[in-house]
Structure formats: structure tokens, C-alpha cells
Structure 1
Amino acid sequence: MGYRLSKIYTRTGDKGTTGLGDGSRVDKDSARIEAIGTVDELNCLIGVLITHNPPEEIAQLLTQIQHRLFDLGGELAVPGYQVVTNESIEALEQSLDQLNETLPPLKEFILPAGNILAASCHHARAVCRRAERRLTLLARQDQEQVNENALKYLNRLSDLLFVIARVLARQNGGEEVYWNKEV
């Protein structure tokens, strides 16, 4: 494969537009670029989470998710292109089921806290929900095409990140922090 970027600054975006993978140009604040940017932000947060050294099984899972999020960003950068599949969603569901089996039933709301790993995972979950909202907005626009599987993927991913946060909060004898409406 050749070099993807030989020159970092191109000046082509100086007037507030950016290029998509199909060669078209769109405004930098368009719904498509907002969705791409939020997926990228989510991917970055998952990278930060991995640097906090979660258990190896979770680190591997998060790395796989980073690759799929990169795929999703590429999909969004080429209107009409689809790469997120049912298999990607099923893989998340399998991981979700496996990790959730280890947890007690949730009877109270929990705060996005517990330890640095759990809080970082909750942060990623919140950004994942925003990415889902951005993608929903993009899909609602008549002229935009969005892969239905991409929306499902982000929905399952936010659920999985919630469960991972619960698992991580319990690491090394830790616990979840329950919401107390009295405080």
C-alpha cells in the first residue's frame, strides 16, 4: 500500500469544507461530519481507556471495537458504502451476554464513577450515545444514506460499554457507586 498522506496540510479545508472519500466536499459542520467526528472521539476515548490497563480480555475486546469504529468512520466518509454488518452486532451481543452474566442484577441507578477504568468507560458510553444521536440525525435527513446496521451497532456498543463499566468498577475489590437521591 502506498502512503496515504504525504503532506499533512492541504489548505483545501480553509474555507470550511472537507472532502469525503467519494471526492465530494461538504461543510465541516454538516450532520455527516458531526457523526464522523463523534465516532472518532469515541474511538479516542476507548484508546484512552485501554491505556489505563484494563484486564487483558477487556483490552482485546476494546481494541476490536476500535477497529470496527474505524470501519464505521470510513463507512460514513463514503456515502452509500456499507461495512458494518449483522455479524459485528452479534459479536457485541455475545460479549455483552458473557460479561453481564458475571454481574448481579441492577436494582439502583449507578453513578459514572467507581475507579478510573469504570469512569473512563462511562465517559466513552456517553459519547457513544451522542454518536448514536448524531447518526440518527444524519439518517433522518432525506438526502443522506445511513447503514441501518451502523445505528444498531452504536446502540449495542453503548449497552456493552455500560456493562464493561460495571465489570471494571468491581476490579480489585472495588464497587459501583449507587445514586442516592437524598444527597
Structure 2
Amino acid sequence: MTEKTRINRVITRTGDKGDTGLADGSRVSKAHPRIHALGELDELNSALGVLRARSLDADLDRALDGIQQRLFDIGGELAVPGRAVIDDHDLVEVESQADMINAELPPLKEFVLPGGHPDAAWCHHCRTVARRVERVLVSLHDTDEDAVNPVSQALVNRLSDLLFVMARLINLRHEHPETLWQPKG
């Protein structure tokens, strides 16, 4: 194979009329709920990439690397209808990470406002994007029960919990006090 034949074109023009190809070769509208879910998942993964571009502690960076890998697997599931890669082991891994981090934290007595240290604030942003991805996956599942691996949907739900405790841990490690909600009245 020559160097010239190995180059993949970025601009294919195949989607100029509003459709796109799935990994199984089928084509769907770019407005299809499956493509919407893929886009939201991509945004979450990109937001996590921005978070990881900051100077995070090595343990948190390793955990987020694993999460980004699994999010690509979920994207692969969505790109190949009927494919399931994420399994209970992946779900247990995310839960274990959240439990380990939460064990380091003081108990919550009130709701925490997003913010604090800049890394924690970005972690909260990623958490809200994860919640949006979860809602889109639920919506896709509601229209096509076979479109979403239920374990993948559960993993994204757990991911938002993991990101919440990560944000709290970042604030704790940086000795940045959390801002607690103070209900009116």
C-alpha cells in the first residue's frame, strides 16, 4: 500500500443532502434520534477531554481516560444497530470509582452549587452534559427499544454521579470550600 492510498479523505461530500452513514453501511437522516444521541455523546466526550487537558491528579485523569474509552464504545453501539459492548463489569467499575471517591468526602448536608475550583466547575459542567446524554438515550430507547444497550444507559447515569463526587473531591483537594444552597425563606 502506498502512502497516497492510505490517506483517508475527511471531506467526503456524502452527507451534503442531510443524511449520514452508520457503521453497518446504512444511511439515516442527520436529524435521526440515533444521530442526535451520537452527537450528544461526542459533546460529552469532548467536554471530558477539556477537563483532562487541565492539571488533574493522576488518579482522576486515569478514571476519566477509562470513561472516555467506554463512551467511544457506547458510540460504537449506537453506530451499529443491535451491537452491545458495554457490560455489567463496566457499570461496576464506574460505581466502584464513585464509591471510592465518595468515601473520601464529608457527608452532604445541603445541595452543592456547581462551581468552586475551575477544575471542579468544569467537572460539574461535564456532569450536566452527561445528564443530557442520558435523557437523549432514554428518548431514543422510547422510540426504539433495541436502539440502546440498557447497561450503557445505566453507565451514563452512574457517570453523572461519578462526576459529581469528582467535582467535590477536586474542591476538597484544592482546599476550595463548596458553596451550599441556601434556600430562600
TM category (shorter chain) comes to over 0.9
Find the partner of 1:177 among 155, 176, 179: 179
**Are the equivalent residues in 1 in contact too, given 2:94–2:162 (CA < 8 A)?**
yes
Q: CA RMSD in A?
A: 1.7
CA change 1:8–1:151 in 2 (3 A) is: same
User: How does 1:155-170 map onto structure 2 within 5 Å?
Assistant: 155-170=157-172
**What percent of counterpart residues are identical?**
48
**Would you say how many aligned residue pairs link Structure 1 and Structure 2?**
181
Q: CA deviation at 1:111?
A: 1.0
Normalised to the residue count of structure 2, the TM-score between the two structures is 0.93
2-structure distance, mates of 1:82, 1:143 = 13
Match of 1:79 in 2: 81
CA change 1:109–1:23 in 2 (3 A) is: same
User: How does 1:1-183 map onto structure 2 within 5 Å?
Assistant: 6-142=8-144, 144-182=146-184
**Are the equivalent residues in 1 in contact too, given 2:78–2:147 (CA < 8 A)?**
no
1:138-179 superposed Cα distances (whole Å, 9 cap, x missing partner): 111137521111111101111111111111112221121112
Unaligned runs of 5+ in 2: none
- Where in structure 1 do 4 or more consecutive aligned residues deviate above 3 Å? none
**Are the equivalent residues in 1 in contact too, given 2:86–2:151 (CA < 8 A)?**
yes
2-structure distance, mates of 1:143, 1:62 = 29
What is the identity, as a one-letter code, of the residue corresponding to 1:126? Answer: T
Normalised to the residue count of structure 1, the TM-score between the two structures is 0.94
What is the identity, as a one-letter code, of the residue corresponding to 1:166? Answer: R
